[in-house]
Amino acid sequence: MVRAYQYASGVPSARTTVKRHPERGAYARDVIDAVLDEALVCHVGFALDEQPFVIPTIHARDGDVLYIHGSPGSRMLRNLRDGIDACVTVTLLDGLVLARSVYNHSMNYRSVVVVGRAREVTAPDEKLRAMRCVVEHVVPGRWDEARQPSETEIKATTILAVSLAEASAKIRTGPPVDDEGDLDLPVWAGVIPLALRSADPLPDCGVTAAPPRYATNYERRRA
Least distance to ligand FAD from the beta carbon of 77, Å?
A: 22
The minimum distance between CB 166 and ligand FAD, in angstroms, equals 8
Give all strands (DSSP E) within the chain, no chain letters.
25-26, 41-48, 51-62, 65-70, 85-98, 106-120, 158-163, 167-172, 190-193
Nearer to ligand FAD, 74 or 104 (CB): 104
Determine how many CB atoms are found less than 10 A away from the CB of residue 97: 21
Nearer to ligand FAD, 87 or 130 (CB): 87
Spell 185-216 as b/e; 16+ CB within 10 A means b.
eeeebebeeeeeeeeeeeeeeeeeeeeeeebe
Binding site for ligand FAD (CB under 6 A): 15-20, 91, 93, 107, 109, 111-113, 168-170
Q: How far is the CB of 107 from ligand FAD (least distance, A)?
A: 5
Of 77 and 88, CB closest to ligand FAD: 88
Helices (H), 81-180: 124-138, 151-155
CA atoms within 13 A on the CB side of 7: 17
Q: Ramachandran region of residue 217, left (φ > 0), alpha (ψ -120 to 50) or beta?
A: left
Q: How far is the CB of 81 from ligand FAD (least distance, A)?
A: 22
CB of 152 vs ligand FAD, minimal distance in Å: 39
80 vs 169, which CB is nearer to ligand FAD?
169
Q: Which residue is nearest to ligand FAD (CB)?
A: 170
